[in-house]
Amino acid sequence: MAATGIFIIVGTAIGLIRALPQLLRLVRTQDAQGVSADSAGTISVVSFAWAAYGMLTDQVAVALASGASAVMFGIVTAVALRLGRRVSEMRTTPVWLIVLAFAGSVGGAQGLGLLLPVSVLVANVPQLLVAWRERDLSGLSLGTWVLSVAEAAVWGTYGLLAGDRAILVHNVLHLTTSGGIVLLRLAKTRRLGQEALAGYP
């Protein structure tokens, strides 16, 4: 247990603050360019499901970190919508809420354990697509997605050490998609900077 203890502490700490840079950026800049409200909403739903999974499997740290993340991403979703992201973007969130609620009510921890590993794809892919398609990602917080990469690495290692396949697979997929979002954010910021220097209209 001592081996996993450090990962629990660090993973919980990152989970508690992961959404904070995005929320602060939205509030400070009043700019939601490049932010997927669908991803933020789905991350909130998935995080609530992970909190339920953590409680059902007696992993209180998982429940705490996931519950805090769920609340924060719910706030991010609301702020992004208030700043101009369209409600019509929210295609995945309601569907996945129904899917996870059904899986949890019918299958409990086992039902959630089957769906939660792939839920990160459902949650992160809309943001990945927005980051790919939209030219201006100025509203998207690099800090939140760097923290997401770190969180995935920490909880993935915890899942490996604890022998929890659901947590391990989830975080391998989380690391991959979050890393892609970070790379797109960096590349597009660099491109916009070069265009500004060149006098791009």
Q: What is the pLDDT along the chain (201 residues), one digit of tens a residue?
A: 566 788 888 888 898 899 999 999 999 999 999 999 999 999 999 999 999 999 999 988 788 888 988 999 999 999 999 999 999 999 999 999 999 999 999 999 999 988 988 899 999 999 999 999 999 999 999 999 999 999 999 999 999 998 988 889 989 999 999 999 999 999 998 887 777 666 655
pLDDT score recorded for residue 21: 96
- Look at residue 1 in the predicted model and tell me its pLDDT: 53
Q: Tokens 């309601």 sit at which residue?
A: 94
> In Å, what is the CA distance from 162 to each residue of 1, 4, 113?
8, 7, 15
Alpha carbon distance 90, 131 (integer Å):
16
Token reading at 45: 């739903």
Query: Given this model, what pLDDT does residue 79 score?
Result: 97
Q: What is the pLDDT of residue 92?
A: 96
Only one residue has tokens 């890393």, namely: 179
Q: How far apart are CA 72 and CA 34, in angstroms?
A: 18
So what's the pLDDT on residue 128? 95
Instruction: Determine contact, residues 97/45, Cβ cutoff 8 Å.
Output: yes
Task: Write down the pLDDT at residue 153.
Answer: 95
Decide if 143 contacts 28 (C-beta within 8 A). Answer: no
pLDDT at 74: 96
> Quick check: pTM over 0.85?
yes
Identify the pLDDT of residue 61.
Answer: 79
**What pLDDT is attached to residue 196?**
65
- Residue 166, CA atoms < 13 Å, CB-side half-sphere: 16
